[in-house]
Amino acid sequence: MNEAWPTFSIIVPTYNRPLQLWRCLQALSESKYPHDRFEVVVVDDGSAMSLEPVVAWFQTKMAIRLVTQPNKGPAAARNMGARVANGRFLAFTDDDCVPHPAWLRQLALFLDDHPEKMVGGYTKNGLPHNKFSLASQLLIDFLYVYYNRVESPARFFTSNNFALAASHYWQVGGFDETLPLAAAEDREFCDRWQQYGLGMVYLPQAVVEHEHHMRPFSFWRQHFNYGRGAWLFHLARSQRTQGNIQLESPGFYLRLVGYPLLVIKGRRALGLTAMLIGTQVANAAGFFYERFARLGQAKKKLPWREPYVPVENVSNTD
């Protein structure tokens, strides 16, 4: 590490979750990274209540500011945060995440030596007793095992735990704001990053805990929206590469739903396997819903993008 630690802007998009945001900011205020070398940019994506009191609480603890915008979705919120950021590097997390104290230090140690790379950390389930949160985390864990094998370059990071140089972020164009859901916008960004010939490295020592409490309906809704996002991702990718839409092989889905049997023992593994099967049913439903909705719009000669209705980042009231 050089004598001067590199500067970071930590970007936190948020929507209608002041309590979760407070926990996230509290964790960032306890960072072991030098506080004069990072700032926090909170981007309020059109919340119903003012978040100024939440942000004001931390103004004596670290450099922090609040930026507001009409509700446009997390991709647009992250781009907004990146536009006003002052740091050499950008680090992304979400309002329902609790970064560990050494999180930013771990990212900085790597990026200081490899500023041309994107580095992603490990996202840990912060609600182990919520079976829906656990099932969703197992899906993410499988994707990290599948896409980020140690012996090969990483290919996918979730948007709540990665960092990169600000200049490279804008080189590839930031997040695609035509993907308005909290679904697949990170996948599309990683895919485009690789298309530019830029590398990705997985750093499991950089840990954040994800505290997304879910119940049956919000669990179904999340994975239904993942399916909607998957269609939008594949459509955007095919248009960008001028190729055909390509899905994963059947073997990918068989390994996915069987993943709990490899990492968890006993009857609990069977229950989680059944839940992962349910996620793929919801995912498929969302995928075809979005596909046929777009086809219907095209036939009616309507605009390609429907008005954004926030469904993922809502408060957990169901």
d(CA 231, CA 128): 30
**What sign does the dihedral 203-206-209-210 (CA atoms) show?**
negative
d(CA 206, CA 121): 5
Classify burial at 7, counting beta carbons within 10 Å of its beta carbon; exposed 0-12, middle 13-18, buried 19 or more: middle
d(CA 79, CA 238): 23
Q: For the segment 208-234, what is each residue's pLDDT rounded down to a tens digit?
A: 999 988 999 999 999 999 999 999 999
Q: How far is CA 264 from CA 134, 240, 255, 260, 310, in A?
A: 11, 40, 14, 6, 34
Q: For the segment 154-170, what is each residue's pLDDT rounded down to a tens digit?
A: 999 999 999 999 999 99
Give CATH for domain 8-215. Answer: 3.90.550.10
d(CA 170, CA 181): 21
How many residues would you count in the chain?
A: 318
CATH 3.90.550.10 in the chain: give the residue spans: 8-215
Residuewise pLDDT in 10s, the chain (318 residues): 546 899 999 999 999 999 999 999 999 999 999 999 999 999 999 999 999 999 999 999 999 999 999 999 999 999 999 999 999 999 999 999 999 999 999 999 999 999 999 999 999 999 999 999 999 999 999 999 999 875 568 999 999 999 999 999 999 999 999 998 889 999 999 999 999 999 999 999 999 999 988 999 999 999 999 999 999 999 999 988 888 888 888 899 999 999 999 999 888 899 999 999 999 999 999 999 999 887 766 655 544 444 434 444 433 434
